[in-house]
Amino acid sequence: MRLFIVVLFTVFSHLSLVSLGFATDERPKSPVSDLQSLFLNLERQWNEAHLRGDAESLGRLWAEELVVTVQEMPVMNRAQALKIVASGRVRFKRYETSDLKVNVFGDAAVVTGRLKRVREKQGKDVEDDWRFTKVYLRRDGTWRVVAWHGSQATK
């Protein structure tokens, strides 16, 4: 039993170090780095869909139970968020993320980062500098966002 606990601790410690970017050995790609690549690609798709105002693409990324929480707006569900995107009321001139961190927990993943965007509001450009948290859930082999929260970044 003691050996099992030591092995389990070692495995989880290594996975935590890899997810935090501290593992620096030169081994071939691991499943963890493959997952990192997958989420970086999903993030790229998310950003590009926002720039295009592409509700269809966002609809494929968002789970039915999506909850969107952003400052100065009411909490929205998937249908409400898709309606806003499809209406064209919000147009982005810039939608860029950085400082991305990905942590995978089985069939759930948390992505955090910084979002800098420029949107047009009543004919004027509005710049946002936010920190965000996005929660993905995997069902039937497909990752979809179930929660997204964005708020003003602290300097």
pLDDT at 24 over 80: no
**pLDDT tens, residue by residue, 52-89:** 999 999 999 999 999 999 988 999 999 999 999 999 88
Contacts 24+ apart (CB under 8 A), 76-83: 82/55, 82/58
Q: Give the amino acid at 96.
A: E
Average pLDDT of span 105-120 = 96
Identify the pLDDT of residue 34.
87
* Whole-structure pTM value: 0.77
Give 115-146 pLDDT, tens digit per residue.
999 998 888 999 999 999 999 999 999 999 99
**Dist. CA 66–CA 79, nearest whole Å:** 9
Per the structure, the count of domains in the chain is: 1
Q: Angle at Cα 94 formed by Cα 88 and Cα 96, nearest 5°?
A: 120
pLDDT at 18 over 90: no
pLDDT value of position 37: 92
Please give the Cα distance from 124 to 143 (Å, whole number).
35
Domain that holds residue 124: 2-22+29-152
pLDDT attached to residue 32 = 57
Tokens 């609809």 belong to 59
Tell me which residue of 125, 137, 105 sits closest to 146, measured CA to CA: 137
Among 56, 74, 76, residue whose Cα is nearest residue 66: 76
**CATH (domain of 11):** 3.10.450.50
